[in-house]
Amino acid sequence: MDFSISPELESTLDIVETFVAEELHPLEDHVVHGHWDVIQSELDKRRDRVKELGLWTPHLDEQWGGMGLSLVEFGHVAEALGRSPLGHYAFNCQAPDAGNMEILTEYGTDWQKERFLEPLLDGDTRSCFAMTEPDNAGSNPTMLDTTARRDGDEFVINGRKWFTSGADGADFAIVMAVTDPDAEDRYSRASQIIVPADADGFELERNISVMGESGSGYLSHGEVTFDDCRVPAENLLGPAEGGFAIAQERLGPGRIHHCMRWIGICERAFDLMCRRANQREVYPGSPLGDRQMVQEKIADSRADIDAARLMTLQAAWQIDRKGTRAARVDISKIKYFVAGVLQDVLDRAIQIHGALGVTDDTPLAFWYRHERGARIYDGPDEVHKRVVAKKSLKERASD
C-alpha cells in the first residue's frame, strides 16, 4: 500500500491548510457560541473564494465539478478541512450533503439531477437525510415505522424521524421509508424518496438539544414528521425497495470522510494541547510540559492519531481498489477506533487546558459536545466491533 502524496496533492493541501487557518479560524468563535446565522454572509464569501481556487466539492468526480480525487486523496483533504468546524461546509463537502450528492449522481434521474442535484452542487441549497427514528433502535436500520404508500402518481408518507442533521434550512430531504412491508427479505422493504421541505405534511418539529445546545442551520439535528406528506412518484430515488443497498453504498466512503475529519479535529486539538503545555506555567519557569503525566498524554495522543490515520487510509485504499463490500471489516474497524481516539484526544486536551478547556474560549468544548456522538451515529461502537469479531472468529473456525 502506497499512501505517498503526489506533488500536485501536496500543493493542494498547502492551499487548503492556509485557507482554513487564515479564512475560517477567525470565524469559529461565532460558531462555538451558536451564532451560525451571524456569519452566513461571511461564509458565502469564503465559499466563493473556494470556487475561484478550483477546490469546490473536492469529493466528486470532475464531471460533477469536483477534483476527481481518489478516496485516499480526498481523505488527506478531509483531514485538513477537519481542523475547523467550518472546513467541510466552506468547501461544499459537508455531511449529509456530500453523501446525498454522491447517490444523486449515481441514481438520480435527469429530472432529479436538474431539480435537486445541480443547486446542491452549486452550493445554492442544502439537504438532509432522514433515516433514524426515535422509536426504533438505530443500530438495526431494518426497523423502520415510516411508510410511503403508493397512491396513484404519488407517495403518501407517514412517520417520524430524528437526528436528521442539517434539516433546519434544508431544501429537501432524502427519506428512508418502507414501501413493501410484506417483503420476505427485510433488507428489501424500504425505498429512498426525495421530499421537498415545503411539501404539505413535512414538518421540522424542533432542533434537538445535544449536550445542552440545539444549534441552528447546518449545525443542527432535527426531528421531522411526515403527516400524509404527498410527493410525486417520480421522486423515488433509485429502484423501488432499493433503499438499503443505496444507503450501504454511501456509508462506506462516508465513514472515510467522517474518520479523516475526526483526525483533523484531533490534530487541531493536539496543536492546542502542546501550545498550552509549553506556555502554561505551574510556577515561574516551570511549564506544564515538564510534567511527566502531561508528557504521557501528549505521547499517547501522538501515537493514537498516527495509528488512526494509517488505519483509515488503509480502509480508503481498500475501497478504491476492491469496493465498499470488500472493505467492510476495515470500515468497521476505523469507525469505532477513530471515534475512540477522537474522544480520548479531546479529553486529554481539555484536561491539559484545565478550567480553560471546559469554556468556549477554545473550540475544544464545542467539539467535545458535538463529537461525542461519533461513537453512536453511523452505527454504534458495539455493532462495528461485532462485525470485526464475527469475521475474525469465522476465519479461525476450522482451527
Residues paired with 154 in a beta bridge: 151, 232
Q: Give the DSSP letter of residue 159.
A: E
Q: Where in the chain is the domain with CATH 2.40.110.10?
A: 127-237
Q: Kindly state the cell numbers that stand for 305.
A: 492519531
- pLDDT surpasses 80 at 36: no
Can you tell me the distance from the alpha carbon of 319 to that of 398, in angstroms, rounded to the nearest whole number? 28
Q: Which residues contact 241 (CB under 8 A, 6 or more apart)?
A: 179, 180, 183, 188, 189, 190, 191
Query: Which residue stretches of 54-193 are H helix?
Result: 71-81, 87-90, 97-107, 110-112, 118-122
Sole residue written with cell 492546542: 272
Can you tell me the distance from the alpha carbon of 210 to that of 365, in angstroms, rounded to the nearest whole number? 13
- pLDDT surpasses 80 at 35: no
Is the CB of residue 92 less than 8 Å from the CB of residue 340? no
- Percent of the chain whose predicted confidence (pLDDT) is above 90: 88
pLDDT digits (tens, 9 = 90+) for 155-167: 999 999 999 999 9
pLDDT digits (tens, 9 = 90+) for 277-307: 999 999 999 999 999 999 999 999 999 999 9
Domain 127-237 top-level CATH class = mainly beta
- pLDDT surpasses 90 at 133: yes
Q: Is 398 exposed, middle or buried (0-12, 13-18, 19+ CB in 10 A)?
A: exposed
- pLDDT surpasses 70 at 399: no
Is the CB of residue 189 less than 8 Å from the CB of residue 180? yes
Third-level CATH fold of 244-394 = Butyryl-CoA Dehydrogenase, subunit A; domain 3 (1.20.140)
Query: Who has greater pLDDT, 248 or 199?
Result: 199
The torsion angles phi and psi of 190, rounded to 5 degrees, stand at: -110, 155
- pLDDT surpasses 80 at 1: no
- pLDDT surpasses 70 at 255: yes
Is the CB of residue 234 less than 8 Å from the CB of residue 198? no
pLDDT digits (tens, 9 = 90+) for 329-361: 999 999 999 999 999 999 999 999 999 999 999
What is the average per-residue pLDDT within 196-208? Answer: 97
Q: Where in the chain is the domain with CATH 1.20.140.10?
A: 244-394
pLDDT digits (tens, 9 = 90+) for 73-128: 999 999 999 999 999 999 999 999 999 999 999 999 999 999 999 999 999 999 99
Third-level CATH fold of 7-122 = Butyryl-Coa Dehydrogenase, subunit A; domain 1 (1.10.540)
Closest alpha carbon to 24 in 73, 94, 75? 94
Q: Kindly state the cell numbers that stand for 238.
A: 433509485
- pLDDT surpasses 90 at 39: no
Query: Residue 215 — very low, low, confident or very high, per pLDDT cuts 50/70/90?
Result: confident
